[in-house]
Structure 1
């Protein structure tokens, strides 16, 4: 059994020793509209801009969110998503635009678990997306080359550990695919083991209340540095493979939410920023 498989199995095991986590106090969401209006080149013609602030202190990562009044509603759950959010960091990041959203359902009864939205910086100069590119390839180009946010909003109270276990299962699935396709080297596999252990440790054994957003911010690649994946109010991991593949799994096959994937594909069908 490979090192990364053993790490994934250990992360899922209830017998594993749990890391001691100091829970970061959650800051309330503001429902006030932004005082300024920015012109955004957006798939969805976003007008309002929220703020998603990122700061690092003593190894912890904090993300605050001020949401705009300009939103889109998931028709399956009535949960609202801002059309655009802004990440505040030392390096200026343009507003991230809502590319698509959808509901996650489970069992043959179609129980609604959460709504999920996908945001991205579509103005990044590193994106090369011609209009005739296949929409699925457009998704991969976006995830691999620019800032992204996956926002999960549960329809009912759940737990951080439940979501953590789902993330670990997703990585295990991506690992199987990568090894089958020969796209993951032994060196990459070994380098991913520690970030996966950290991914398990940053989630507290506590409830996640109904309609409380959980944001995953995937930073754009920076030459010479591992790619960061920040979990709102919890912490961050840094590894190119783990960070990118966890976001890409939302679009593998039907993904956890087929409506999300369909929404993103539909909105990207005519999008291009490259001749």
Structure 2
């Protein structure tokens, strides 16, 4: 090799090579660029969330208020649909639609009507029948589940009498609420009730043993009545308990209790039977109440 060519080769070998040098900055720069974009996006999202957070919280709060208002409106609508009292159209006596049952839960009015002395057309008292609201609303309750009740037909005396008898004879709480139209006294009301019961015993053609049991019940019943004055508007409650007893209450005070099965059934059925009920208006009203109940 000539000296000139050797010198040229040595010069090329000693020159620095640039294309093969690893430059970390050349790689780090794109990573920092993408990280910077990600950070910027996260910052914008955080700022956007902070910007809309008050609105979102206000929306959640508003939704909660609207939900509560809706539930309150439904409760109010339900209470408005069922008035607190009803007025007997003949006597103008006012009756509550709800009274406490034996355990304190609500008992609901099924129907009411006035009792009149027929030949004088004198109004004596108003009677209403109540049953526990749970028995009326629950389709599996003893009241609603009775086959006789499910077949109830208001215009069919046979089916309605059968249903009323089943209701009274089963362990279902019922309350007869009786309110005098004018001032009276315990003996006067007592005599009217016992007269109806005595007529029922004769009509049923009881044998000697049954008749003796009925007379014992009537005597026991008579002894439970107060002797003093009972003012117009004072309420007497005859409460048939699921345990088979019946108590008599006056203005919330229990006067006494009887467990005579014949008396309890005859007393309630006297207002519910289709033939010569004590109050035809009450019987028809209760029958309509049950018919409406079954259509719900």
Fold shared, TM-score > 0.5 on shorter chain: yes
Give 1 or 2 for the bigger CA radius of gyration.
Answer: 2
Quick one: which of 210, 220, 224 aligns to 1:202? 224
Corresponding residue of 2:108: 97
- Provide, for residues 96-147 of structure 1, a one-character-per-residue CA deviation record: whole Å limited to 9, x for no partner: 2211011112244522221111112334733312145533332222222211
In structure 2, the gaps of 5 or more residues are: 1-71, 154-158
The correspondence of residues 154-193 of structure 1 with structure 2, limited to 5 A, is 154-179=180-205, 184=206, 186-193=208-215
How far off its partner does 1:269 sit?
2.4
How far off its partner does 1:271 sit?
3.7
CA distance in structure 2 between the aligned counterparts of 1:173 and 1:136, rounded to whole angstroms:
18
Query: 3-state DSSP class of the match of 2:90?
Result: coil
CA distance in structure 2 between the aligned counterparts of 1:261 and 1:237, rounded to whole angstroms:
24
Corresponding residue of 2:174: 148
Contact 1:144 1:244 in 2 (8 A): yes
How far off its partner does 1:265 sit?
1.5
- Provide, for residues 140-179 of structure 1, a one-character-per-residue CA deviation record: whole Å limited to 9, x for no partner: 2222221111111111101111111112111112212222
Contact 1:131 1:272 in 2 (8 A): no
- Provide, for residues 55-89 of structure 1, a one-character-per-residue CA deviation record: whole Å limited to 9, x for no partner: xxxxxxxxxxxxx9811111112211111222244
Considering only aligned residues, what root-mean-square deviation do their CA atoms show, in Å?
A: 3.0
Quick one: which of 140, 150, 167 aligns to 1:130? 150
How far off its partner does 1:270 sit?
4.6
In structure 1, the gaps of 5 or more residues are: 1-36, 40-44, 49-67
Contact 1:116 1:151 in 2 (8 A): yes
- Provide, for residues 18-47 of structure 1, a one-character-per-residue CA deviation record: whole Å limited to 9, x for no partner: xxxxxxxxxxxxxxxxxxx9x9xxxxx985
Quick one: which of 31, 53, 75 aligns to 2:89? 75
Corresponding residue of 1:231: 248
How far off its partner does 1:186 sit?
4.4
Contact 2:160 2:287 in 1 (8 A): yes
CA distance in structure 2 between the aligned counterparts of 1:246 and 1:197, rounded to whole angstroms:
13
How far off its partner does 1:202 sit?
1.8
Contact 1:104 1:114 in 2 (8 A): yes
Q: Note closer, same or farther for the CA distance 1:242–1:262 as it changes in structure 2 (3 Å cut).
A: same
Query: 3-state DSSP class of the match of 2:277?
Result: coil
Q: Report the count of equivalent residues.
A: 201
Q: Note closer, same or farther for the CA distance 1:47–1:216 as it changes in structure 2 (3 Å cut).
A: farther
After TM superposition, the score normalised by the length of structure 2 is 0.60
1:269 is the counterpart of 2:291? yes
Query: 3-state DSSP class of the match of 1:269?
Result: helix
CA distance in structure 2 between the aligned counterparts of 1:111 and 1:119, rounded to whole angstroms:
25
Structure with larger RCO (C-alpha < 8 A, sep 6+): 1
